Structure 1
Amino acid sequence: MAYDATVSALRDTRRDAPAIEIYAGLSEAEFAEWRSRAESVAAELAATALERDRANQDPFEEIELLRKAGLLGLAVPRALGGAGANLAQALEISRIISAADGSIGQLIAYHYSNGVWSYILGTPEQWQATARGVGEEGWFQGGVSNPRDPKAELEKTANGYLISGRRTFATGASIAQILTVTVWDGEKRVHFQIPPSRKGISFEGDWDNLGQRLTASGSVIFDRVEATDADLLSGLDHYAGDVEQRDGLRVLFSQLIFVNFYLGIAEGALEAASAHVRSHGRPWPESGLERATEDPYHLQLFGRLSAGIAAGVALADKAAALYQAALLAGPALTAQAWGELALVIDQAKVIATKVSLEVTADIYEATGARSTANKYGLDIYWRNVRTHTVHDPVSYRLREIGEFALNQTLPKPRVFTPPAKA
């Protein structure tokens, strides 16, 4: 399919249709079918996860697998060619994929997140055009928005803009069909949506980290890349409510997707460890037991880790429901409700980080020394979680929680100032 070639055509299409219901949600029976579909994809990914992790290639084939299963369009409204799932359902699917392959789980979670960003940042026409590309054409959405990068140069011309600069941590950009690109215009952050095939965009392929190795999170170079007013996402310019608060919802959803794919990786690690103990476990001589699965210390360990994951998932699902309500409330969302949502997402982030690190490290207490052999690949879960959980210090989320616990001060939207030029 000529994905990039259809971007302009979809944008230029004007459809005088009734308001489209976003994130309407699937019935229990409908979602069960999608869950089953995701589990089939996950099984296929899990079978080759270690081999692909070691190869460290851009995951074009893996994204095609998601595309063929229809998972990329899961959260797109039915009227735009998608399945019409709500955000909680989409995030559950991201956990299922993450349990099999943390890298691909991160990618699909980021893809769903970029859909939310399009909805927040774009005009209704811009959002519908991008959503239709995802739903009907199978686009994968990537982003170039690392707020800690030195700012890219934005030059205004008679015909629009020129973007120049090097950006890092551009997850999924090299495998996407549409990019959300954030740059600074003086003291203001501005956002464009452009195809990665546009002249002047190149990818360095330099992502070679400890974990999350298949996320295509390398650097991207912009060399006087042309962008037009049509590419400029201008929804916030026309927003009737608190713009800072609305824009702050993007940051909150980023935190929420982290929560879900961390928990998904933890679920995958616990299941892999359980299977290893059942298949290869040997009772410790002092136990006096015949089977490793009877060891009371193993039972206690697996019980504790399982309970931690369950608590994290319950909090994640609560946060997802609250987030969707806040997103759809529009200008009616109050500062109080925004802060309460942020607090719940902070709590979920803390729990998910703690639990995922505990699970992926502590499973070795039950699987034993032989399980550290590279052929088993149990390290992939810890490597993946450890790599991403240092991207955004959880200490600052704990600080916000503590501010409320001690001083009854709710979180406020976080504002990032322009970083200095390199």
Structure 2
Amino acid sequence: MTEPGRPPALDPSLPATSAAPRDLPGLLEALRASAAQRDREGGHAAQEKQWIAEAGLLTLAVPREFGGAGAPWPQVYETIRALARVDSALAHLLGFQCLQVVSVNVWGNPAQRARYLRGTVEGRWWWGNAVNPLDTRLIASATADGGFRLNGQKGFCSGTRGSQMMTVSAHDPQTGKPIFAVVPTTRDGITVHEDWDPIGQRQTDSGSVSFAHVKIEPGEVLHRSETQPAPHATLRTLVSQLVLTNLFVGIAQGALEEARQYVTRNGRPWITSGVDKATDDPYLIARFGEMRLQTVGAQALAERAARLLEDAWQEGAALSAEARGEVALATSEAKILAHRAALEVSQNLFDACGARSTHAPLALDRFWRNARVHTLHDPLDYRVRDVGRYALSGILPEVSLYT
């Protein structure tokens, strides 16, 4: 059995090399260069994840007191957006890395925070996600020492393949509530399945994970949900939702940029346009104008929500329920616009670029496919309902697993 809290470091078979990108711009260019091919192949992006680790991005959300970057939320989300412009699958992995760090930060006691957050820095741990309280197939049976045994399965476990640690939620039948814990991914009894095969977001390692008599030590149990959590602890949900929001914005931005480059290089004016260059076609100009309006509008609301989240985060235990609700409202507003922008801009890319842009090797459809898969995470209708309720009656969104 792996010693608790002592998982292996990054894959030693993938050492740093002189060819690895040394900064964020270099990383983005390297990811963009292989994005289309990796989208076709799917599977696990081991080398690219290594590059992300070598760029120092795994500790963006780790507080400075534990040796991390301690980046403010607007900076975290800008980094996620930057990756999503070129590869939204790997941006998803980075976003969920930050989310698991936050899970430990808000649910862990001081000793757990020090142990796991400092370990993330020193071991350059990738974190996997097996937290979904709605999925009650994973059963937690209490043990006499205060720990648990886990048996069952979890689905949509993003980032688990190739990770060193994972956060887990499981159903405790004795209390009827979920328990939350940290466990090394290599713990005896854990099997990470390679069964993630969607039409988009193909390299998020979001397959299922099976647990067979997996021991959870008492010190690995983070949170038992026995009492109503303080408003600050519930910010984890909004951190998660803004990860998705900024993925959507990045997809829209990436699709717009790919369309611009394609039309600039390869565009032909329509035969009745009366212009010599595609970039002078008034209808094409109007189409790009609409795509940009959607994109910059979504970015503006995403940045506003990130600033509000940062302000709320800095409040700590003093954060009020009302202030938390205002962040939730801003998050829903941003996510609605980002959701729509990602789908519409990635679809309108083809109207802007024309028939030749559907050439399969270009893989320009990956933006729409990635957006379509990711925007199904939770229903947009309920988010619009929350915004409409506030607009009509001044009622802020209630705390839930998604707001």
Quickly say closer, same or farther: Cα 1:287–1:193, change in 2 above 3 A.
same
1:80 equivalent in structure 2: 66
> How far has the Cα of 1:136 moved from its partner?
2.2
* 2:177 is the alignment partner of 1:179: no
The residue aligned with 1:7 is 5
* Equivalent-residue separation in structure 1 for 2:31 and 2:348 (angstroms): 24
Distance 1:120 1:75 in 2: 12
Matches within 5 A, 1:152-163: 152-159=138-145, 160-163=147-150
Cα offset, 1:248, TM superposition:
2.8
Sequence identity of aligned pairs in percent?
Answer: 37
Post-superposition offset of 1:128: 2.4
Q: Distance in 1 between matches of 2:158 and 2:7?
A: 26
Q: Distance in 2 between matches of 1:335 and 1:150?
A: 28
User: Which of these residues, 151, 162, 183, is aligned with residue 194 of structure 1?
Assistant: 183
Higher percent of residues as helix: 1
Displacement after TM superposition at 1:302 (Å): 1.2
1:80/1:136 contact within 8 Å kept: no
- The separation in 1 between residues aligned to 2:330 and 2:302, in whole angstroms, is 9
Match of 2:104 among 103, 118, 132: 118
Contact 1:210 1:383 (C-alpha < 8 Å) held by counterparts: yes
- Answering whether residue 204 of structure 2 is matched by residue 218 of structure 1, we say no
CA–CA distance in structure 2, aligned partners of residues 86 and 178 of structure 1? 24
8 A Cα contact 1:124 1:235, kept in partner: no
CA shift at 1:97, angstroms?
0.7
Q: CA deviation at 1:413?
A: 0.6
CA contact (8 A) 2:179 2:224 kept: no
Report the secondary structure of 2:325's partner residue. Answer: helix
1:330-359 deviations in Å (ceiling 9; x for gaps): 332112111111100000010000111111
Match of 1:14 in 2: none
Q: Distance in 1 between matches of 2:388 and 2:314?
A: 28
Higher mean C-alpha displacement, 45-54 vs 407-416: 407-416
How far apart are the structure 2 equivalents of 1:384 and 1:415?
23
Question: 1:124 Cα shift?
Answer: 2.2
Assess, with a 3 A threshold, how the Cα gap between structure 1 residues 62 and 9 changes in structure 2: closer, same or farther: closer
Residues 244, 412 of structure 1: alpha-carbon distance in 2 compared, 3 angstrom cutoff: farther
Task: Name the counterpart of 1:274.
Answer: 260
Identify the residue that residue 65 of structure 1 maps to in structure 2: 51
Looking at structure 2, the residues matched to 45 and 72 of structure 1 have their Cα atoms a distance apart, in angstroms, of 16
| Other structure's SS at 1:143 match | strand
| Pairing 1:390–2:379 present | no
Give the alignment's TM-score, normalised by structure 1. 0.87
1:105-130 alpha-carbon deviations (Å, 9 max, x no partner):
11101111111111111112212222
Change (3 A) 1:308 1:269: same
CA separation of 1:170/1:312 partners in 2, compared to 1, >3 Å: closer, same or farther?
A: same
Q: What letter matches 1:352 in structure 2?
A: A
Cα distance in 1 for partners of 2:24, 2:132 equals: 29
Partner of 1:419 in structure 2?
A: none
Aligned residue in 2 for 1:33: none
Corresponding position of 1:203: 192
Q: Secondary structure at the match of 2:207?
A: coil
Deviations 1:52-104 (A, max 9, x none): 11111112212101011111122323342322311110110011111111100
Instruction: Give the deviation of 1:158 after TM superposition.
Output: 2.7
Q: Secondary structure at the match of 1:363?
A: helix
Structure 2 distance, partners of 1:317, 1:372, is 33
SS in 1 for 2:49: helix
The amino acid that maps onto 2:170 is: V
Residue 127 of structure 1 is matched in structure 2 by 113
Aligned partners of 1:278 and 1:235: how far apart in 2?
A: 56
Corresponding letter in the other structure for 2:366: I
SS of residue matched to 1:285: coil
- In the other structure, the counterpart of 1:401 is 387
Q: What RMSD, in angstroms, separates the aligned Cα atoms of the two structures?
A: 2.0
User: Which letter does structure 2 place at the counterpart of 1:225?
Assistant: V
SS at match of 1:262: helix
Q: What is the CA deviation profile of residues 14-55 of structure 1, one whole-angstrom value per residue up to 9, with x for unaligned ones?
A: xxxxxxxxxxxxxxxxxxxxxx93222111011011111111
1:59/1:175 contact within 8 Å kept: no
**TM-aligned CA distance change 1:184 to 1:236, over 3 Å:** closer
1:319 CA displacement: 0.9
Give the match's secondary structure for 1:76.
coil
SS across alignment from 2:221: coil
Q: Is the 8 A contact 2:88 2:247 kept in 1?
A: yes
1:7 is matched by which residue type in structure 2? G
Range moving further from structure 2, 194-203 or 156-165: 156-165
Q: Select which of 79, 91, 95 maps to 1:109.
A: 95
Q: Is the 8 A contact 2:191 2:210 kept in 1?
A: yes
Aligned twin of 1:144: 130
Residue in structure 1 matched with residue 13 of structure 2 by the alignment: none
- More deviation, 348-357/324-333: 324-333
Unaligned residue ranges in structure 2 (runs of 5+): 9-21
Residues in 2 aligned to 1:330 and 1:149: alpha-carbon distance in whole angstroms? 30
1:356 aligns with 2:342: yes
| Separation in structure 1 between the aligned mates of residue 192 and residue 295 of structure 2, nearest angstrom | 37
- The aligned amino acid for 1:82 is G
Q: Which region of structure 1 is more displaced relative to structure 2, 316-325 or 168-177?
A: 316-325
- For these two proteins, the number of residue pairs brought into alignment is 385
1:165 aligns with 2:163: no
Which has the higher mean CA deviation after the structures are superposed, 77-86 or 62-71?
Answer: 77-86
